[in-house]
Each structure stands twice: as C-alpha cells, then as structure tokens.
Structure 1
Amino acid sequence: MCPIPFLGSFQKVSCSWTHLSRRCLSVWSPLAEAFNTRPTQKFNYRKNDVGLFGIPELNRPEGFRQLQETCINTTASLIEQALSPSREKKMVEIFDEMSDTLCQVADLAEFIRLAHPEEKHAKAAEEACCTVSGIVENLNTNLRLYKVLKDAVTREDVVKNSAVDKHVGELFLIDFEQSGIHLKNESDREKVVELTNAILNYGQQFVGGASTPRMVKKSLLPGSLRNVLASEEDTILVSGLYTDSADPVAREMAFKIFLHPDPHQDMLLNKMLEARYELAKICGFPTYASRALRGSIIDSPDQVMIFLKKLSQNIWDKAKIDFDLMNNMKLLENPLSSGVQSWDIPYYTQKAKKEWFRVSSKEYSPYFSLGACMDGLNNLFQSLYGIQLVNFELSTGECWSPDVYKLSVVHEKEGLLGYIYCDFYERTGKPNQDCHFTIRGGRSLSENIYQLPIVVVMLNLPTPRWSSPSLLSPSMMDNLFHEIGHAMHSMLARTKYQHVSGTRCSTDFAEVPSVLMEYFASDHRVLKRFARHFQTQQPMSDEMVQRLCGAKRLFTACETQLQLFYAVIDQKYHGAHPLKGSTTDVLVEAQKDFYGLPYVPNTAWQLRFSHLVGYGAKYYSYLVSRALAHSIWKSYFEKDPFSRESGERYRMECLSHGGGKNPRDLVRDFLGVDPTPDILADYLINEIDYHQSQVDLVMKNRT
C-alpha cells in the first residue's frame, strides 16, 4: 500500500471574527464568520511542517521523489501479484489498488504543478507527473497484464465477481484497449504509443496558443478602437473580445482581430485531429468520436447527432425570438446599424439584465458575502443530506498558499466523509479558471474502513478588504455552487473502488450534480435563506430575489443554441478524416445549419476553442447534463428544495455510485425513463420553456 496517511481525525475548531460593526453582535454562524475573514493558521512554535495535504514527504520539494519511488515499488509489487499463478485477491481489486497508487501521486502532483506559487515545488511536481506517465505507459503496453485482466473479467475470477466488480473491470479493459494493447501487431502497438504522445504534444501547444493575445499596429485600427484599447506603444495587444465595450465598432474590430485565422494554430488543430483519427482506426474504431463515447449515456456518434439535430429543430424559433429582442435593442441605439451580430450577444445580454431586471453586481454583491454563501450551502446540505461543513484548522505546511480554507464534511450519523480544500481567492500566477481537483478518491479498504476522499475547489474571488469580506457577483455565486456540486459528488459517493469514485464517471453524467446545484442557487426559497447584507445583515428582499432569478434565465434559448453549435463542431471534427474542406469550411457549414447568426468572414473561432482538446468529441455532454439536471430538479426538488427524502434518494441512487454503475442504467433507475436522444432533447426543450416562463413572470410583474 502506498503510505499516504489519512489527514487526521475530525475535531470542531473555533473561529475568530472581526465584527464589521461594534455596535451590534454578529449573528453569522461560525462557518460564515470563518469565510468572511481571511484564513488563519495556528502559530506553531516548533514550526513542524506536516507537508502538503498532511503528507510528511512533501514538507520539501524533494519529497516528490520519495513518493515516486514508493509509487514505483508498490506498482511493481501489485503487477507481480496480478501475474502470480497463486493469486488469491480479485483481479479488479489489485488493479484498483494499482490505480489508487498511481492517482495519489499523479493527481496531487498535477494540482501542485498548476497551483503552487513556488517554482521548486511546481518543477518537482512536474517531474513526478512525468514519472507516473512513464509508469502508466509501461502498464498500457504490458500484454501479460492485459490478458490476465481480460480472463478475470470475461470468464471468472478466483473469487466470483459482483456486478460492480465486472463493471469496473470492464472499464479497466476499455482503458487498456484504447491504448491498443489488444492489437496483435507489435508495430501497431508502438504506433499507438507514438500517436498518443503526439496528440498530447499538439494539444498542449494548441491550448497554449488559444489564449495568446493578438498584436496589431495602431495605424491599422479605427480611431474608436485605439481609444478603447489604450496603449502608448505603436502596437496594441488584443487579448480578448471586449464584449463589455459600449462601442459597437470596438466590439466588432476586437472580434475580427482576436479571431483572425492563425496558420500555426490551424496546423496544430489539424495535426491533432489527424492523429486522433489514425489512433482510432488502428484501435479498431471507425472514428475518434466512436472511441471516445464508449461507456457514455449516449454511446455512439450517430446517437449524439440525433440528439443534437432534434434539439436544433425544436430550438431554432425560440433562439430567433432571443436574437430579435437583442436586434431591437441594437436598433434603438442606432437605427442605421446592420442588426445584432455574434460580437454583440454578450453585451446585449448583460445590458438587458441591467435595464430590464435592474441586476448589477454593485446592487447584489453586498448580499453575497463569501461567508453568507458558504452558510447557504451548509444549511442546504444539512437539510438534504444531514451533512455539516466544518472549518478545520490547518497545520503548518499543509497548504500551498496561506489563503486556503480546509473543510471537513461531517454526516450526522456516518461521521467524517472527507475533506475539501477551498482555494478561493485570486492571486498572481494562479490559473484563471474555476475548477475542482480530485487529490485522492474514496474507496473501501475493508468492511469498516473507508479511504476518505480529498478534493480542492479552486475559484478566483476578490480577496477580503479591511472593511468588507469577499463579495461575490451573482455569476461568482453560481460558479461557487457549481464547483461545490462537484466536490460534494466526491464526498457523498461511497464506492468500493476509487477508479469510479465521485466525479470519475462518464463525462455526460459528471456535470449533472454541479448543474443541479445551479438550480438551487437560482431558487427564491434557497436564496432567501442565506442572501443577507454583509453590514446590516438584512435579507434580500423578495423583489430583488425575483429580479435576480429572472435575469439568470434570460436568453436561455440562444445560449443553448450556441452550445449546440459548439457540440456539432466537436462531433464533425472528430468524425471521418480527412475533413471535407478546412476546419473553417466545416465550421461555416455547421454554423449555417445550427446557429441563428451568420459566420463572420476571415475569422476562425475554432482556433480559440481549447475545449476541443479536453473534451474531444464529448462537448455535447454539457447539454445532456443540463437536460438530466432539469429533469431531476422537476421530479425531486422543485416542490421542496430542502426535502430530506428527495436528498437521501438522490444521494443513494445517483451520487453514491460515482462511476460504479452504468450511467444509462443509473439514469433509467432514478428517473424511470430510458435516456434516449429524443427524450434528452425533449428534456432540454422543457428546460428552455421553463426558464422562459420564469422570465415572463418577472417581466409581467415588473409591468
């Protein structure tokens, strides 16, 4: 076993609080008080550094080498065990222990590589990632290991396999076969390794280039754009689309400059797509999409396109209404304008929220202090699952930054379920994205002992000031609920194997728990329980709540159509190769058929779409997750968002399985319907209609 310890035992920790007003006593909970101030760490006279995540070896960067050595030795021992003719343990158990050994180093190291501000730690973590990658590559080419696993899964093991054993064993086989281990020709297996490395290299370069600013000479720009993109130099860096600019010329020019075709990016994308297609063909799949979709709710490219086409047919007129409304807004500003264009959509969406619903961050942020939001989450989880979030005291050296909180997740009967590290505040060098990292997956170690999951939630919130806590905009609050939804999936899962713990499930189900949390964040009953002004502690008024809930659902149809268009592009790029024309030609044709606004000549939006690397034929998953989250909300939580009965059932029948149950079976058993493409498309249309009804209700009350 890899000697990575549990991180201590549960204890309740008192929190200090600096009152914002000395004239009244605080009525905030201890959790709210903790998150409304910056984290504090206990002063340690001896300065005993416990190491990152409480791992003693990681009290210094060199400790990663010790973890690597332990990982190598443990993996070798497990391989020997798997190949032994006198083996007594189930093969899937050995493989899961091997996976756990590798993941506990790889996942932790990958996070530290991205998040640690000190170069020594980041570099040591990167070396550990490379070491584990090398071990995995060797495993993926170990033919003997593949054969003994296949025999144990397809025939019978030394101990009879349960349904979960068989499912997880089949997932391990899929991982093997996607690496070409089942190929008879050794040269083909070597080619698979070569292509895998090439795809990784092309993808990393493409993602890096997707966010690179575009440099342009001032003399080539209209005067209005020069004023918006102020610079004292002869050249201007266009680093984004400037969607919040009130100047329509500035929005248009930034769009055309930033998305102008980049030959190098185009080459990288084509090389990656070609390599993916060749990899799929060698491994016996007709396309890369066919390979990527194995084990998903929608498990074939043809079925995905049925879903997307039906959705497109039913959404087109609804999206047109949204575009027409924005078009009218633009014509009111300038009757001579050519009408709403792609570069206008974010601007007029925000403008409508401000003018129609009077929703602005300045008005709402005081009600969404970080402490109030965390209190809201805690109260919600107590109601639904009998769970409490407790601020846990950090030890010296346990974290990569002083601005990190540690939460213990405690069930009223089951006790400690796991830990969530909250890296919430923006800082120099920190990745500018909101995300969830699994540091250690949960799994059963014995009948009465469970390996507690450890996760990190990373956000980029404003830091507290001397006069106020961190105040969140409505969108920041939504993102907080979304990412905590991922974390709670990891906490509430109770899987036998860590390979399928929590969010380690099919991509088209992984987003369901987090999207569902956005429904709670947009429900007036939930908001009324925690949205309080950070100074007066007065709750948000009913009228403010109503306006906010309406604004959140504005223009859902056209936003969904945009996501649909992205998903179609993703499918077409990962279909047969060579493509019929360039990647831009494919985009132009798809935009004509699936999006309500025309293609902008001499632009190549796809070259900025980094999700093509990470999702790779699975971008449709976001739409499926939305469809399922809406159905779950309507079936179980719309009537009462605090229902313990519904929460317990949702946990036991959905969250507890992680990826340990076939996702189609999981959905069928919980919702009572077979999740066919047609049904999923209908669910999503129902969601759009539901959101529009909420918008209409607010608009009616407003008039």
Structure 2
Amino acid sequence: MLKLSRTLLRWRHRHRSRLVSTWTPLATAFNSPPARRINFTRDEVGLFRIPELRSFEGFYLLRDNAESRTQELISEAISEQRERKMVDIFDELSDSLCKVADLAEFVRIAHPQSKYTQAAEQACISICGVVESLNTHKPIYQALSHVVEHGDKLPTSEVDKHVAKLFLFDFEQCGIHLPEKERLRVVRLNDYILQLGQKFMSGAVQPSVLPRSLVPEAIRNYFPTSGDNVIITGLCTNAENVQIREAAYRLYLQPSDSQEDLLRDLLLCRHELARSCGFKTYAHRALNGSTMERPEVVHDFIDELSEKLRPRAEADFAKMTQMKRREGGQVSAMAEVWDTPYFTTQMRRQSLEEQANEFLPYFSLGGCMEGLNNLLQSLYGVRLENAEMEPGESWYNDIYKLSVVHEREGLLGYIYCDFFERTGKPNQDCHFTIKGGKLLPDGSYQLPAVVVMLSLAQPRWSGPTLLSPARVDNLFHEMGHAMHSMLARTEHQHVTGTRCSTDFAEVPSVLMEYFAGDPRVLRTFARHFQTHEPISEDMLRRLCASKHLFAASETQLQVFYSALDQEYHGAGARQGGSSTETLRSVQNRYYGLPYVENTAWQLRFSHLVGYGAKYYAYLVSKTIASWIWQTYFEANPFNRQAGEKYRAEILAHGGAVPSRKLVANFLQREMTPTVLADSLITEIDTDESKIKELMVSRC
C-alpha cells in the first residue's frame, strides 16, 4: 500500500504539472499588489505626468492658464482676421477647459488627500464660472451661429459642420439665443432644477422610520430599531421569509409628501425649461441629437418590444409562482413584485446547482486582465502593457497604469486602473476621461488618458483578488468604455470616444459584456488561481446560462422604467397630478405584475434626476449591442475582420458622426423600432432555449 500510495502521489504530481501554466507578465502584475517604488530623487513628474501637479497648488495654475487661453480663443473666434476654422477654435476652447475640468472632477472625488480634493473642487468651481460666462457671451455665440447657418469662410467637412452644430446646441441649452428676460428665466430654471434634483436624490436614499406598531409583530425584530421606531433601510430582496420581503417593500416604499412635491416641481421646471428653449416637451429637448432622435420613436420601440415581451414575461412569472407555491405550500400564492430577485437567485441555486462563490477561484483579477488582453489582440491587434509609473504620477499606491499599444499604429493612449477599495473612495464602477484624443495642428495625435474605477477587495498575501461573475461583467463593461476612448481617432476632442449621445455611449461597453458571457472567450482565461486548472465545461455552461435566467421579465421591467421616465418628461408633465397615479397607469400597461397599493416606488427612483427622459438609453444600447453581436461576433467572437470593421466604422468616430447613421451604415439596415425589438427578442428566445437544454441535460 505504501508503494502504491507513492506511485499515486507521483502520478498526481505529474498530472498537476501538466495543468499548471505560468501567468503572462500582465496577469502576474494584476495578481499581485502594484510595486511600491521608493523615490530616491526629489523630482516628481506630477499627477498624471502633468508638471503643474507636483503639488496640489498646481490646480490654481492650471485654472489660470485655462482662463487665460479662453480669452485668447474668444478673441480669435470673433476676429475679422480669423485664420482657422471656427470649429477648430471651439474645439481647442473645449479641450483647454475639459483638460482641467475632467481632471479636477476625478481628483475631487477620488484623491485620498484633502488638500488635493479641495484644490480640485475650487478648480471645478472656477471652470464652471468660465463656462457660465461663455454661455452669456453673445459675440462668440453669434460668430458660431453665423458659421452654422451660412457656412465657414474656410473649407469645412461634413464632420466639421456636425460638430459645429453640437457646439451651437450646447450654447442654446442655456438660452443665449433668447431675449434677455427669457434667457435669465432659463438660467433660474436651470439653477432651480439642479437644487431640486439634489434634494430629491438625497431623499430617495433616506430610510423609512416607522412606529413599531405599524410593523407586523412577527417580523418586527428582523429590522433595526431606534427607541420606539423601526428603521427600514432597503427592500430585503434576498430574504427567505416572504413576509419580510413584502413588509420591506410596502414600508420602504411608502408615499412621501416631500418627495412627491420635489418630483412634481422638478418635472414642471424641466417642462418649462424645454418650452422656453423651443421644444415641445423636456423629452424632445433631451433626445435632440440622440440615436433615437425623438420621443415618438422611443415610444414606438417601447410599445413594439412590450407587445413581444408580454407572453414571454408571463411565462417567467408563472415559473416564479410555481416556485413560490412549492416553497410556501400555498396553492393560491402568486409571484409579486417583491419576489422576482429572490426567485431568480433561487433558480440559479436549484435548477443550475450554482453554489455560492464556486466560480471565484477561476476568475483572478490577473486572469481576467489576461483574457481582456487576448481578446483585444484578436479583435483589434491591440495589447495592454503594464507600465511603470514615475514618482508623483499616481494618486495612491495601488494604482496600475496600462499602455494601450497597437501592432501597427503604436501607442494609442493610457488607462489608469483604480481597482481597489479604500477609505473615502466612492463605491462605484465607472470610467473617467482625463484627457480626450484629438488631431493636433502638427499632424500628431493627442493621446487619450482615462481612469477605470472599480471597488474590488484588496489582494491578500495568500492570493490575488478574485472576481464574481458579476464583477467580471463589470470589468469588461468599464474596459469597453476605456477602449472606446483608446480606439477612437477623431479630429475633434469634443466628440472623441464616449463623448457621443447617451443612448449610444453604452453600446461598446454593453457589447463587451457579450464577450464576457461567451464560453469561447471565458475558456481562454478562466483558470484556477492556484492550480491553473481550466474551469470545467459543466461550470462554464451553468455560468453562462445563469446570466440569462428570466431575461424576458427583467427586460420587461426595464421597458416599464423607460416608459415611466418618458411619461413623466413628456406631455403629461404640464398636466400635474399625482406621480403615483401615473406610475399605476404605466405599470398596468407595461409590466406583468400589478401595482402595490399605497406604495410610491418612483419617489426612490434617483435615475429620474441623472437620466431624465434618457433612462431608455440602456435598453436601446443593449438592443444595438445585441444586434451587432448577432451580426458580427456571435459566430466567432475572435473575428479580426469583424473587429477591425467595428473599430473603423463605429469606435473610431466617437460622436463625430450621428450615431443613428453609424449604426445603420454598420449593420446595413435601417434602425426601425421593429428591427430593434426583433433583435432583442431573438436573443431572449435563443438564450431561453439554451437554458432549457441545460436543465433537461441535468435532470
């Protein structure tokens, strides 16, 4: 037995050695904390290699330089002896202000040192003041308006004309084209809308505080208390006890007179602002220049998609009802709005046998970055290289810097990776543009620099940071934004990369999620962080299927949210009335689960502030991304020809070409509401078939 055991041990050792492969240098870098360099010199290069930012006081110099350059460019724009195209002058004006404003906005929220955040905030305030003064500068507006209406005295391209119109629209958002009395009214409305939005968002996240007597005794102890009050801080969507889920929903979403007043005033002021600026509704103003162009097109898309989703969503809710009845033993139980997240999680656990954290070991941060690198090389001939930072270049000691290098074009730009949690850092996944790309007068290109911010756990001495499947999706999503900035090659900074219409800016990032959910892509990097053993085919199939459970009902929920947002910012805004009655009406029409009496979910819907009349943008972006995926990448996610075509015809243009035109040209088909809806329905049906096949195979 001893001899046999030694033989088995030797066999196991040889077998394991075949599984182990070394990580690439990129993966190794991200699977360990960034090297902390000791600065043996006194010279620092400055934050983001900006010499002025060797200290926080440099923000004051950057601000002063931007203000000085602004005055020079204003003089050039209104001069009779102007020798440059008007759009080039305006783009340099935009570039000089954005280089300070975008940088300062990031530093203001992300830098750990208060002296930097305070200086950055002062710079933000100063640049806002410059912009406000520009918005009232009639001579420069008139100079631009004349060029847009009558053409420039210098030769211009179609892109020049399009970008000039965008600049003009930005001007007119503030009412500069209106008589002075009306212009001042627009300024006041904008200020009031900002204040209302801030107050509404603050109220939306406040807990509900209720007397103990109003909370059922059976579940009272499940919530925190303060004296004789019970505090409800959220919806408890994953609670196993259905009574807790229901109580949390009803109590947390109770109507609030103060929130109702804020929302009503916000919608009314937005409507008045739009009318003052010559638009029928605020939705018409918000959608001007967007991919969908007009609210009427959004409504047609929502209605078309809603009709096709209805039977599919009903099937989802029927499954949830069956699960609820089996779990609770009540024959008459029906799935309710507070049940949907819970039973989606239960379906993953029961039908797909998904265990908590079982996928984590296969998705180390370094492995995921290696997977991204492999994908980018396959599609675009681009590689990510871990770059060593100079002293003073970074704002914290755990930041990575990536050089994005094309096999023929060379260096495309830089991505700073601020991936880990720290005290005071916002808990959000997002992308920041620090410097936009643009063609420079000498023919060279201003290389873009961006930051990708995540909120991952710090790597431990015992191993690297491990990502859940949802975190992998988020990483690919945010890197999709970053690569949009890197791969764009626009003449004008004002329209580079993600600086395009809201309902198109999410397309490249959502498309990256399709790659992150494809088993052929995941196989290239999903390896155990210790043994390097690849993820099993069974786990891979279950993981990919879990991302699409109850897709129809989830999409229907997004349709409902989008329809509600459009209704609030459409013609109904001027009619007043209760926002809850509007919610009830829209929910009954667009969602398969009924409105719950005496609740006001919309009063906690903070996206109404930031995405006013544009909440539909994610739904449309997902639809366009799905269409692109099905057309070009579903057959082969590593298709180089398709990748280069996608870059050349979509990513390279940023917002320099109207997004509707970009999509129609790329997909060789008019982007009608029917075509968009059919694309998403095709995806949902295909994924549902795969889930059924998997479940049958596991029975």
Asked if structure 1 preserves the Cα contact closer than 8 Å seen for 2:224 and 2:232, the reply is: no
Deviation at 1:90, TM superposition (A): 0.3
What is the aligned partner in structure 1 of residue 265 from structure 2? 271
**Equivalent pairs, count:** 682
**SS at structure 1 position matched to 2:209:** strand
- Post-superposition CA distance 1:201-238 (Å, at most 9, x none): 21122222222233334454334534433558654443
Residues 225 and 418 of structure 1, relative CA distance in 2, 3 Å threshold: farther
The AA in structure 1 aligned to 2:381 is G
Deviation at 1:446, TM superposition (A): 3.1
| Greater Cα shift, 257-266 or 338-347 | 257-266
Residues 526 and 446 of structure 1, relative CA distance in 2, 3 Å threshold: same
Q: 2:205 aligned with 1:211, yes or no?
A: yes
What is the aligned partner in structure 2 of residue 691 from structure 1? 687
Q: 2:611 aligned with 1:618, yes or no?
A: no
Q: 2:550 aligned with 1:555, yes or no?
A: yes
Asked if structure 2 preserves the Cα contact closer than 8 Å seen for 1:41 and 1:396, the reply is: no
Residues 342 and 518 of structure 1, relative CA distance in 2, 3 Å threshold: same
Asked if structure 2 preserves the Cα contact closer than 8 Å seen for 1:143 and 1:181, the reply is: yes
| Greater Cα shift, 342-351 or 254-263 | 254-263
**SS at structure 2 position matched to 1:342:** coil
Q: 2:22 aligned with 1:27, yes or no?
A: yes
Q: 2:620 aligned with 1:631, yes or no?
A: no
**SS at structure 1 position matched to 2:306:** helix
Q: Counterparts of 1:220 and 1:470 in 2: how far apart (Å)?
A: 44
Q: 2:78 aligned with 1:83, yes or no?
A: yes
Q: Counterparts of 2:254 and 2:424 in 1: how far apart (Å)?
A: 28
Q: 2:255 aligned with 1:261, yes or no?
A: yes
What is the aligned partner in structure 2 of residue 287 from structure 1? 281
The AA in structure 1 aligned to 2:181 is S
Residues 44 and 167 of structure 1, relative CA distance in 2, 3 Å threshold: same
TM-score for the superposition, normalised by structure 1: 0.94
Q: Counterparts of 2:521 and 2:43 in 1: how far apart (Å)?
A: 43
What is the aligned partner in structure 2 of residue 496 from structure 1? 491
Q: Counterparts of 2:180 and 2:483 in 1: how far apart (Å)?
A: 44
Asked if structure 1 preserves the Cα contact closer than 8 Å seen for 2:344 and 2:550, the reply is: yes
Residues 649-660 of structure 1 aligned to structure 2 (within 5 Å): 649-660=645-656
Q: Which has the larger radius of gyration?
A: 2
Asked if structure 1 preserves the Cα contact closer than 8 Å seen for 2:660 and 2:671, the reply is: yes
**SS at structure 1 position matched to 2:32:** coil
2:130 pairs, out of 109, 128, 135, with 135
Residues 24 and 637 of structure 1, relative CA distance in 2, 3 Å threshold: closer
**SS at structure 2 position matched to 1:529:** coil
Q: Counterparts of 1:654 and 1:329 in 2: how far apart (Å)?
A: 44
Q: Counterparts of 2:18 and 2:161 in 1: how far apart (Å)?
A: 64
Q: 2:400 aligned with 1:405, yes or no?
A: yes
What is the aligned partner in structure 2 of residue 57 from structure 1? 52
Asked if structure 2 preserves the Cα contact closer than 8 Å seen for 1:421 and 1:455, the reply is: yes
Q: Counterparts of 1:529 and 1:80 in 2: how far apart (Å)?
A: 56
Q: 2:482 aligned with 1:487, yes or no?
A: yes
Deviation at 1:400, TM superposition (A): 2.4
Residues 24 and 627 of structure 1, relative CA distance in 2, 3 Å threshold: closer
1:678 pairs, out of 656, 662, 674, with 674
Asked if structure 2 preserves the Cα contact closer than 8 Å seen for 1:224 and 1:250, the reply is: no
The RMSD of aligned alpha carbons is 1.8
Asked if structure 1 preserves the Cα contact closer than 8 Å seen for 2:19 and 2:532, the reply is: no
Q: Counterparts of 2:26 and 2:307 in 1: how far apart (Å)?
A: 48
Residues 529 and 594 of structure 1, relative CA distance in 2, 3 Å threshold: same
The AA in structure 2 aligned to 1:277 is H
Deviation at 1:42, TM superposition (A): 2.0
Deviation at 1:355, TM superposition (A): 1.2
The AA in structure 2 aligned to 1:325 is K
Q: 2:453 aligned with 1:458, yes or no?
A: yes
Q: Counterparts of 1:590 and 1:190 in 2: how far apart (Å)?
A: 36
**SS at structure 1 position matched to 2:210:** strand
2:176 pairs, out of 176, 181, 192, with 181
Residues 573-612 of structure 1 aligned to structure 2 (within 5 Å): 573-576=568-571, 577-579=573-575, 581-612=577-608
The AA in structure 2 aligned to 1:157 is D
2:297 pairs, out of 299, 303, 313, with 303
Residues 368-379 of structure 1 aligned to structure 2 (within 5 Å): 368-379=363-374
- Post-superposition CA distance 1:330-378 (Å, at most 9, x none): 1111133632111111111111111111224411011011111111000
Residues 492-531 of structure 1 aligned to structure 2 (within 5 Å): 492-531=487-526
What is the aligned partner in structure 1 of residue 11 from structure 2? none
Q: Counterparts of 2:19 and 2:641 in 1: how far apart (Å)?
A: 38
In the alignment, structure 2 segments of 5+ residues that lack a partner are 1-15
**SS at structure 2 position matched to 1:390:** strand
Asked if structure 2 preserves the Cα contact closer than 8 Å seen for 1:361 and 1:473, the reply is: no
Deviation at 1:644, TM superposition (A): 0.8
Q: Counterparts of 1:24 and 1:208 in 2: how far apart (Å)?
A: 52
Asked if structure 2 preserves the Cα contact closer than 8 Å seen for 1:553 and 1:694, the reply is: no
**SS at structure 2 position matched to 1:389:** strand
Residues 278 and 547 of structure 1, relative CA distance in 2, 3 Å threshold: same
TM-score for the superposition, normalised by structure 2: 0.95
1:363 pairs, out of 358, 366, 384, with 358
- Post-superposition CA distance 1:522-569 (Å, at most 9, x none): 111001110000111100011111111111111110000000000011
1:328 pairs, out of 299, 319, 322, with 322
